């Protein structure tokens, strides 16, 4: 049994929630972006969490609904860098917890606004905007922040229990 398993699980959850908060920030920053490198308006990004690491190559098999140069691919690369393997080299042990399985584009159609003077307006005078609701994004951000804080509190509680156990053992 691993004494630090709860810290590992909470650490992974904190990393996943940090990525979720960064995705929400990117969504908010691009709420009015009508033209991207891929063409068309920005697509809202969503984080997909998965429990456990049953597949050690899970980051290699992520499903992303957009192109390689998209924010989804950037966040998937960020997830790969931020989620180190917690098992010792050569070990088949799977660390419990949660990880970011993918960052996917929201399939919702873009919102159309009549603005014939906009350079991105179509022949009908309508401009396609991302379907991003600031209220929804703020709720997601508050959820990510609270989950991050709760996992930090769990780590602190475990550190306190370990310290107390060591003090009792030395008595």
Distance CA 93, CA 46 (A): 29
The count of structural domains within the chain is 1
Residue 121 lies in domain: 5-169
Q: Output 153 or 1, whichever has higher pLDDT.
A: 153
The whole-angstrom distance between residue 169's C-alpha and the CA centroid of its chain comes to: 41
SS3 112: strand
Of 41-45, 92-96, 130-134, the one with minimum mean pLDDT is 92-96
Which secondary-structure segment (H or E) carries 111? strand 111-114
The percent of residues above 70 in pLDDT, for the chain, comes to 73
pLDDT band at 38 (very low <50, low <70, confident <90, very high): confident
């Amino acid at each position: 049994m691993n004494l630090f398993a709860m810290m590992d699980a909470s650490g992974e959850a904190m990393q996943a929630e940090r990525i979720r908060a960064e995705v929400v920030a990117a969504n908010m920053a691009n709420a009015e972006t009508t033209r991207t490198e891929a063409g068309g308006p920005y697509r809202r990004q969503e984080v997909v969490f998965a429990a456990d690491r049953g597949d050690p190559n899970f980051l290699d098999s992520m499903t992303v609904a957009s192109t390689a140069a998209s924010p989804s691919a950037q966040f998937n690369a960020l997830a790969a860098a931020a989620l180190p393997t917690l098992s010792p080299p050569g070990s088949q042990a799977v660390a419990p917890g949660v990880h970011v399985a993918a960052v996917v584009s929201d399939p919702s159609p873009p919102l159309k606004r009549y603005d014939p003077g906009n350079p991105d307006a179509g022949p009908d005078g309508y401009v396609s905007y991302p379907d991003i609701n600031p209220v929804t994004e703020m709720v997601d951000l508050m959820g990510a922040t609270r989950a991050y804080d709760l996992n930090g509190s769990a780590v602190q509680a475990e550190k306190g229990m370990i310290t107390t156990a060591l003090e009792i053992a030395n008595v």
